[in-house]
Amino acid sequence: MSQHFLLSKAARSLSIARVARLSDEEAHDAFRLIRWTATEGEPVCPRCQCGATYKYETRKLWKCKACSHQFSVTSGTIFASRKMPIRDILLAIAIFVNGAKGHSALQLSRDLDVQYKTAFVLAHKIREALADEKAEETVSGEVEIDGAYFGGYVKPANWKENRRDRRLAENQTGKRRVVVIMRERNGITLPFVFKSEAQSVATIGQRVHPEATIHADQAAGWDVLHERFLTKRINHEECYSDGDACTNQAESFFSRLRRAEIGTHHHISGRYLGAYASEMAWREDNRRVSNGEQYLMATNAALQHGVSRQWKGYWQRSVN
């Protein structure tokens, strides 16, 4: 439905420099075209889906002829009740997609000259929209499954006598989580966050096609997968590969997420781990897509995504 604009030549030629030079009018038009692709930019009422509107030229608002609802180009989208100019939102998306290791909220706030809180919420709204696009997806064919632990780091003591056994339960912070991914070879990557690998098995059952071939390492948590799927295992310690059994693509995802944690965000807490994992899955899946197309895909995802329950008014709520 929205494909023809995304695939057009005009769409592919967009870049950060070009976005930064957009006039207010041009930015508004770009937003309008991406949001209402099916009607070639003609506004559609977000409340009743009616295409007949009155236009308030000066305020960039429309009024629905059917239900009298007044709306702007961002009403009913994840950018509803924005205070930022539209060009800055487009710029934020362009900057966001260009950061292969992710982009910190601090850096984004400097790039856009906005408050840290504003940049933090904006980036999370983009992540939410990207994650939501895969909310119903499943994977099939050759599927690599792997898990890696993040967060809840227990700092090792410097002096030998003070060394703690970080494996002991009392030394765990309780915040450590495992990201488990299901990655279809040459297809999409679905990341999920659990307390342990064993807890992920039910979700694997829902998201992986029953006739898929699973590739996993020797972690004991994956033994139960043999009951449900044709499952091939690889033993990393012995550098042994059973024919074509390997989890290279899964590991490529984790190295990207690890680089984002170490190089960009420095610390990823359990609360946002799922959001960052979804972002990195999106980057991994679209790594061969041009920046211009990624920018349009992300903008399109954000504009097709409704108002965010989690992030709308986030800071107003969190001060309570």
Binding-site ranges for Zn ion (CB under 5 A): 45, 47-48, 50, 64, 66-67, 69
Give the whole-angstrom CA distance, residue 235 versus residue 216. 9
Residue number, 64 or 92, with CB nearest to Zn ion: 64
Give the whole-angstrom CA distance, residue 72 versus residue 14. 23
Residue number, 63 or 185, with CB nearest to Zn ion: 63
Shortest Å distance, C-beta 32 to Zn ion: 17
Residue number, 62 or 120, with CB nearest to Zn ion: 62
Helix (H, G, I), strand (E, B) or coil at 105: helix
In what side-by-side order are the strands of the sheet with 230-234? 189-194, 177-184, 142-150, 213-217, 230-234
Helix (H) or strand (E) holding 194: strand 189-194
Going by their DSSP bridges, the two strands 53-56 and 189-194 should be labelled as unpaired
Shortest Å distance, C-beta 65 to Zn ion: 8
Residue number, 67 or 230, with CB nearest to Zn ion: 67
Residue number, 50 or 198, with CB nearest to Zn ion: 50
Token pair listed for 85: 């100019």
In what side-by-side order are the strands of the sheet with 61-64? 53-56, 61-64, 70-71
Bridge partners, 181 (sequence order): 146, 191
Shortest Å distance, C-beta 45 to Zn ion: 3
